[in-house]
Chain A
Amino acid sequence: MPTPAATADRTSTLKDGIRAAWPICLGYVPIGLAFGVLAQKAGLSPLAIGLMSVLVFAGSSQFIAVAMLEAGSGIAAIVATVFTVNLRHLLMSSAISVCLKGLRRRWLALFAYGITDESFALNLVRFREGNWDWKRALTVNHVTNAFWVVSTMIGGLGGTFIPAHAFGIDYALMAMFLCLLVYQLRGRLYVVTGLIAGIAAVALSLAIPGNSYIVAASVIAATAGLYIRRRYPKIGQAKGQA
């Protein structure tokens, strides 16, 4: 029998996780619906769409896969493309591993499933602020996952129950990312690193198709930032850090 204290603890974990996850959920609805509508037009049933959303849970990869399916690409070509699209998760998973030190391997295996651009950025900020643990982070991962799966399936039913572009909902994720970026600016070095990454990303995105510019620009900027931290220790000091 769980003690009342344990139950209360579990409830607050769930509540905190859900409360933190709402901007992502809101942002997933229009994207999920749009994906579902597109997939349905490509001939996929709502069940097939749900299967892909559950097994893959990666928005941009799923859009690309459906476009390639419609163009008649083979399985191997689609899988190879998805692999390159998702290489940026290597960096996110590496960065968030610092927050999950010593967590048991089976929980890590479950946590890995839910690492997206959105959950990564949100959870990382919460871990830094404190009052956050892997259970709350895992709740964010799975609540947002549920929203994704359900919205893609509803889109697949052909119904966009929310009219397109209603209430500026398309901007929810961009606004969230902008605020999470602000949270990351914890000193001059972080501002400089962010600027280098942004400028490099724009330049690379104009020069090469696909989304490999995300990984390339992030690696370039973090490496440059590390160099600056070593070379000019004064710039490298983070606010509120020992």
Chain B
Amino acid sequence: MISQDYLFLCLGMGLVTYVPRWVPLFALSQRTLPRWLEEWLDLIPVAILSALILPSLVTAGEPRQLSLWNIDLLVAVPVLLFALRTRSLGGTVVLGMALYWLAGKFLG
């Protein structure tokens, strides 16, 4: 059974998740942006990706601590080189999974 409280919780969570996804789209896509803002936004994807990836590779635990020896990071090196060389998304994903699986078997 779904209680009323739980429904309100989900609706509230949905609202605060949806609004930050929607407001910039709504506000920015209908107008011409100043040049500096376009250039700034052009740098956001690489910044976000890097900010998402690196901490999850070199930190672990709660509270987080630096951890420079782990399988995730070890596998990331050949995967990154492969991606740089081939630029193949599918190949990179398959290689990453295979190496991670093997590394878990032999090193884990």
Contact = CB atoms under 8 A, between A and B. Distances in A.
Interface string A114-133: 01010011001000000000
B84 interface: yes
B interface SS class: helix
B89 interface: yes
Nearest to A20: B89
A56 B10 contact: yes
Chain B's interface size range is: 35 or more
A51 B7 contact: yes
A12 interface: no
A14 interface: no
Contact of A176 (B17, B59, B89): B89
A195 interface: yes
Contacts, number: 282
Interface string B91-108: 011011111111010000
Contacts of B11: 55
Interface residues of A, number: 97
A interface SS class: helix
A158 interface: no
A88 B96 contact: no
A169 interface: yes
A147 interface: no
B15 to A, nearest CB: 8
B64 A206 contact: yes
A90 B23 contact: yes
Given A102-B30, A197-B47, A89 B56 contact: no
Interface string A75-98: 100111011001111111111111
Given A179-B92, A179-B93, A194 B47 contact: yes
Contact of B9 (A23, A75, A214): A75
A94 B41 contact: yes
Contacts of B16: 79-80, 82-83, 86
A67 to B, nearest CB: 11
9 contacts: A79-B15, A93-B21, A93-B23, A168-B102, A180-B89, A190-B46, A201-B50, A217-B47, A221-B43
Interface of B: 1-2, 5-18, 20-30, 33, 36, 38-59, 63-66, 72, 75-76, 79-80, 83-84, 87-90, 92-93, 95-102, 104
Q: What 4 A-B pairs are tightest by C-beta distance, nearest first?
A: A175-B96, A168-B101, A171-B100, A198-B54
Given A101-B30, A175-B92, A181-B50, 19 more contacts: A51-B6, A56-B10, A83-B20, A86-B20, A87-B20, A90-B24, A93-B20, A94-B44, A96-B25, A102-B29, A112-B26, A113-B18, A178-B53, A179-B88, A196-B47, A198-B53, A202-B58, A202-B66, A226-B40
